[in-house]
Chain A
Amino acid sequence: MKENVTFGDRDKNVTFGDRDETSPPATSDEFLLNIGPQHPATHGVLRVVVTMDGEVVKDIVPHVGYVHRGLEKLFENRTYEQIIPFTDRTDYLSAIANNFAYVMGVERLLGLEVPEKVQYMRVLMAELNRIASHLLWLAAYGLDMGAFTPFLYAFRDREEIVSMIEEASGGRLTTNYFRVGGFVHDLPREFFPRLRKFISRFGKAVNELDTLLVENAIFVARTRGVGVIGRGRAVSYGMTGPCLRASNASFDVRRDLPYSVYPLFDFEIPVGRNGDTWDRSWVRIEEMRQSLVILRQAMEGFPEGDHKARAPRNIEPPAGEVYSAVEGPRGETGFYIVSDGTRKPYRVKMRKPSFSNFSALPEILRGLKIADLVAVMGSLDLVVPEIDR
């Protein structure tokens, strides 16, 4: 049995050099590295306990729940309208995607038809929100990898989008803009001129950000071939969104489970080939470009009409259940709503992408080095309240 000789044990007569054939080869001890709830690399309050052998990661045990507010319990005591602001706050970077999924679910329960103008507005806001979320991912990822400049450039463009969303909905981040059957109020008059100016300028800005970080030689060296997960394992872990599409699996809720007016637009789904950290980053940059394509088409075909259907004053859907999913910036964001005919849902289960994407981290990282842990965690684009809810 290897006796654990520590420097403190002066009284022990075993000297450090006292080796014989029975003692094991001189190996280094494994130590526990605790990347705890308060850490710049965890993008929020995640805790990862890493067993290290020198620089190499032997095993990872994630701990979550540090922002678990018990939303699903809370929803059971709220009416359908009161739940909408909470859906923003479960994933504050894609508040609009969450509003979209939840409100569409309730509309299906009610069997409510929504005017076409509302559908177009929803697609507009969803794609703007996707670009804003990817920009923040780029900013945070640049900071993780030690590049400060992308943070400033990405936030400059993101402020433009966020102020546009604020102009329309009143909230920069937690918009609370959607209602069952439509919107709180119509788009402001100067929304489209600003949007047109933004689209023309942002095409060039994406290339600038691309060359700034994703095409940067150091970034490529640190991410090419690192943190690879195959298509089968990714699907088995329930990964969706850019993390899944980077592993050569072409699945996008906008095209495969079509909702709203997405079938009217044609846009490509960027798919990476070998599922490494660089592909996950490349897919997000491409998605931003595709979002611009969708925004242009949505603006051209924007119909007239009012911004809200005649939804009933008190929403009391008939007993039944629905699962409505939307392609959020991080993956499939879905709400499984079970109604029992009263004004409050019987059960609301939120299917959030970061929950499944993060559960795959131990398998991706086993055997990589500690610096790769930061790179891989950044590429998963985690939002912690999505995991904890």
Chain B
Amino acid sequence: MRSAEETREALGKRFPAIEVRPVDPAPNVTVHADALRENLAWLRDELAFDFLVFMTALDRPADDAVELVYRLFSHESRASVVVRVRLPRDGARVPTVSDIFRTAEWHERETAEMFGVEFAGHPDPRKLLLPDDLDGHPLRKDFSHPNLVRLPEAP
């Protein structure tokens, strides 16, 4: 049974640039897109982070980037870790991890259609939630659509 402290030390050794952001206690690790698969597999096999809680993206138009967020949890040590990947906003490409974590298959499909991130090697890259005739990526900040009427600001 690996304890949370041991896990944090092991993380510290492998990822020098660990940071803890305000309010959320889980350590944040930023990796490069090419090293994503290898790091996630390592986290799952070595440190028993067997549960991908969720995977989503943050659209940062200010610095022309989209940031992927993978949050992992370990049933064994009850520790959490957040893996982040920064990608250029247009033409963002990252390898799929749906074979490492099966739940990633649907999370990636949703993130792909909502943010326009392409997941290379995804087994079933169809749209998940959006109707087929809706093009564009809704969760991007600059998304506009005739059916989308914004709530008027309070006076």
Q: Do A and B touch, yes or no (CB under 8 Å, in the complex)? A: yes
CB of A321 within 8 A of CB of B23, answer: yes
For A256, the chain B residues whose CB sits under 8 A away are 75, 78
Nearest CB in chain B: distance from A232 CB, A: 8
A108 in the interface (beta carbon within 8 A)? yes
Of the residues B24, B50, B56, B58, contact of A320 by C-beta under 8 Å: B24
For B127, the chain A residues whose CB sits under 8 A away are 65
CB of B71 within 8 A of CB of A336, answer: yes
Interface of B is mostly: loop
Once A65-B128, A65-B131, A238-B51 are accepted as A-B contacts, the answer to whether A73 and B138 lie under 8 Å apart by CB is yes
Q: Which of B11-19, B35-43, B102-110 contacts A (4 or more CB under 8 A)?
A: B102-110
Q: Which of A27-35, A160-168, A212-220, A349-357 contacts B (4 or more CB under 8 A)?
A: A349-357
CB of A349 within 8 A of CB of B56, answer: yes
Of the residues A65, A322, A325, A360, contact of B23 by C-beta under 8 Å: A322
CB of A238 within 8 A of CB of B53, answer: yes
CB of B24 within 8 A of CB of A321, answer: yes
CB of B23 within 8 A of CB of A355, answer: no
Please report the total number of B residues contacting A with Cβ < 8 Å: 36
Contacting A at CB under 8 A, from B76-130, are: 78, 80, 101-103, 105-106, 114, 127-130
Which residue of B is nearest A389, CB measured?
Answer: B129
Nearest CB in chain B: distance from A317 CB, A: 8
CB of B139 within 8 A of CB of A72, answer: yes
Which residue of A is nearest B154, CB measured?
Answer: A79
CB of B143 within 8 A of CB of A73, answer: yes
For A363, the chain B residues whose CB sits under 8 A away are 102
Cα-based distance from A320 to B151 in the complex (angstroms): 25
Q: Among B24, B71, B130, B131, which residue has the most Cβ atoms of chain A within 10 A? A: B24
Contacting A at CB under 8 A, from B131-155, are: 131, 138-139, 141, 143, 148, 150-151
B47 in the interface (beta carbon within 8 A)? no
A323 in the interface (beta carbon within 8 A)? yes
Once A237-B103, A334-B53 are accepted as A-B contacts, the answer to whether A257 and B78 lie under 8 Å apart by CB is yes
For A332, the chain B residues whose CB sits under 8 A away are 53
CB of B50 within 8 A of CB of A235, answer: yes
CB of A235 within 8 A of CB of B51, answer: yes
CB of A64 within 8 A of CB of B138, answer: no
Contacting B at CB under 8 A, from A101-149, are: 108-109, 111
Beyond A64-B129, A257-B78, A323-B80, 6 additional contacts (C-beta under 8 Å) are: A65-B131, A70-B138, A235-B51, A320-B21, A346-B58, A347-B59
Q: Could you pull out 28 A-B pairs where Cβ atoms are within 8 angstroms? A: A65-B129, A65-B130, A65-B131, A73-B139, A77-B151, A78-B151, A232-B50, A235-B50, A235-B51, A237-B102, A237-B103, A238-B52, A256-B78, A318-B22, A322-B23, A323-B71, A332-B53, A334-B53, A336-B69, A346-B58, A347-B59, A349-B54, A349-B56, A349-B69, A355-B106, A356-B103, A359-B103, A388-B129
Q: Which residues of A contact B (CB under 8 A)?
A: 64-65, 68, 70, 72-73, 76-78, 108-109, 111, 232-233, 235-238, 249, 251, 256-257, 318-323, 325, 332, 334, 336, 338, 346-347, 349, 351, 355-356, 359-360, 363, 388-389
Closest 4 CB pairs of A and B: A238-B103, A320-B22, A65-B129, A68-B129
